[in-house]
Amino acid sequence: MRAGSSAIARLFSWTGALLFVLSLVYFLVAYLTWFGAAASAGTISAAVTWNVTLFTAFALHHSLFARARLRAWVARVIPPELERSLYVWIASLLFVLVCGGWRPVPGIAWQADGVAVWSLRAVQAAGLWIIVRSARILDVWGLAGVTTGGRAGEAGGEFKAIGPYGWVRHPIYAGWFLFVFAASPMTMTRLVFAIVSGVYLLIAIPFEERTLRAGSDGAYERYMAAVRWRLVPGVY
């Protein structure tokens, strides 16, 4: 790759990584602030339908990019080292669109007070800690598209059962569930987001594991044998 093209590629990768970080910050701000504002007006069915459709578009992107045939086509169209960056760009923009376009749903499912609300906040903090701790075990730069890496083991190495990855096979998803479902007040806006995103993750996990098993030359099967549970120790 020529020097000029290499510089453009690095710029594309790093701006994609920045967008990835900003999209996560945007989600945190949205979920902790205006998602938590109770909506008093509006049609529930229309808001839920719109929100589910919006999140489905985001989920379809993830599902399509996981297909080997599409990834092979993308690798023919753009330099292979930019494949992950392109995925990160599109995913981040779609996630911002989901958070920004999420329609308020009238009603409050529950609201805690006193010790209960602080207990829920502790659960949310634990969820965030699990997400951050798990992300640090991964190749974060690879996930953000800056390098061509990804989760340790995807290229044929061993998957390490360390930290939260020694508890469950998908600790980032586990932390996500803790964070989104331990909110208070749990407005219907938040609850719909938590349920829709949670259902998507539950559907995605078996497909993700099938891809990891197919591309790790037995490494992921050994990891599955070492760490039995996918999401909740002793349950699933």
Backbone angles phi, psi at 104, to 5 degrees: -60, 140
* CA atoms in the 13 A half-sphere facing the CB of 77: 8
Measure Cα distances from 60 to 16, 55, 56 in Å. 20, 9, 6
Query: From CA 192, how far away is CA 51, in angstroms rounded?
Result: 8
Q: Helix, strand or coil for residue 34?
A: helix
Query: From CA 81, how far away is CA 111, in angstroms rounded?
Result: 47
Place of tokens 């999209």: 23
Residue pLDDT tens, the chain, 236 long = 454 568 877 888 888 889 999 999 999 999 999 999 998 877 899 999 999 999 999 998 877 766 666 666 666 777 766 777 888 899 999 999 999 999 999 999 999 999 999 999 999 999 999 999 998 888 776 666 666 554 444 444 678 899 999 999 999 999 999 999 999 999 999 999 999 999 999 999 998 898 889 888 899 999 999 999 999 999 99
Backbone angles phi, psi at 101, to 5 degrees: -95, 0
- Structural domain spans, the chain: 3-226
The one-character DSSP state at 81 is: G
Measure Cα distances from 140 to 127, 143, 144, 194 in Å. 18, 5, 6, 24
Q: Which helix (H) or strand (E) holds 186?
A: strand 186-187
Query: From CA 28, how far away is CA 98, in angstroms rounded?
Result: 13
Q: Is the pTM of this model over 0.85?
A: yes
Query: From CA 41, how far away is CA 19, in angstroms rounded?
Result: 33
